[in-house]
Amino acid sequence: MMGRLLQWLLAFIAGGVAVFVLLTLANGKLPVPLPTSTPSATPFVITDDAWASVSNPALPVSVVAPGSTVTLAQPAQVEIALGSGKLALINVVVDAPTLAPDDDQAILRKAVPQLDGMEAFYFQVHVTKVAGDALAGADLSNVFDAVTDQRHIIQKLTLVDWRKCDRTALPAEIDTENVTATLCFAAAAPASGLTPAGVQFSQSGGPYDAAAGTAIVWLP
């Protein structure tokens, strides 16, 4: 088989319904980046029912209050449920979403026809473990979303083997004291429509739940 296969997974989140589009391309037909290196920890997805298995949901006093708005680039401590009753306290710093470079936009639109008429955005999240259960391998793509200044969620864009922005799982070293991991997430919005302004942290059934109006949002 000529070239290394590159997979693109586009997840559109709209009205609570997820639609997945999977494309497989031969590396060489498009000027795509090389695949990422093998991850240092086995990724695991944090499921929507992660808080359901928590026996003691009381929040530590050090966390930011549910429903708070935090200024972009300012730190906030949140408690995250990992599943199987496990919890961790993390410190989070979020950068403002930025428009992907023109070269990236062109490649993505060529690879994913559904992006025609849309723009891709990247946003980075910096995570430091404070306390709790092991975080290595935790994929945080289900808990962070780009939002507008009115807190409307922007469609999620998940890219596989896109080296410029596809690190959504925490590395093995995250459980080492004072280690900060930087994750990169992507979103897609109509070119003449919604514009990402900030980032939301939400977990269904937990203290930070967008459905209950208690998500944490970072905005300018």
- pLDDT tens for each residue of 169-190: 999 999 999 999 999 999 999 9
Q: What is the pLDDT of residue 17?
A: 32
**Hey, what are 153's tokens?**
């969620």
Mean pLDDT in residue range 17-42 = 43
Would you say residue 14 has pLDDT above 60? no
Rounded CA-CA distance 149/210 in Å is 15
In a domain? residue 182: yes
State how far Cα 9 lies from the chain centre: 14
Q: What is the pLDDT of residue 40?
A: 66
Residues 6+ apart with CB under 8 A from 83: 44, 46, 47, 49, 50, 53
CA nearest to 54, candidates 28, 79, 23: 79
In a domain? residue 133: yes
Would you say residue 143 has pLDDT above 80? yes
| CATH code for position 81 | 2.60.40.1240
In a domain? residue 61: yes
Q: What is the pLDDT of residue 163?
A: 84
Predicted TM-score (pTM) of the model is: 0.81
Highest-scoring range by mean pLDDT, 18-27, 33-42, 90-99? 90-99
Look at phi and psi of residue 185 and say left if phi exceeds 0, alpha if psi is from -120 to 50, else beta. beta
Read off the pLDDT of residues 105-139 as tens digits, 9 standing for 90 and up: 999 998 888 898 999 999 999 999 999 999 999 99
In a domain? residue 169: yes
In a domain? residue 148: yes
Domain of residue 168: give its range: 43-98+119-219
Read off the pLDDT of residues 90-101 as tens digits, 9 standing for 90 and up: 999 999 999 999
Q: What is the pLDDT of residue 162?
A: 86
Rounded CA-CA distance 46/9 in Å is 18
Q: How many domains does the chain have?
A: 1
Between 21 and 206, the higher pLDDT residue: 206
Q: What is the pLDDT of residue 148?
A: 97
Mean of pLDDT over the chain: 83
Highest-scoring range by mean pLDDT, 19-23, 97-101, 162-166? 97-101
In a domain? residue 60: yes
Q: What is the pLDDT of residue 59?
A: 79
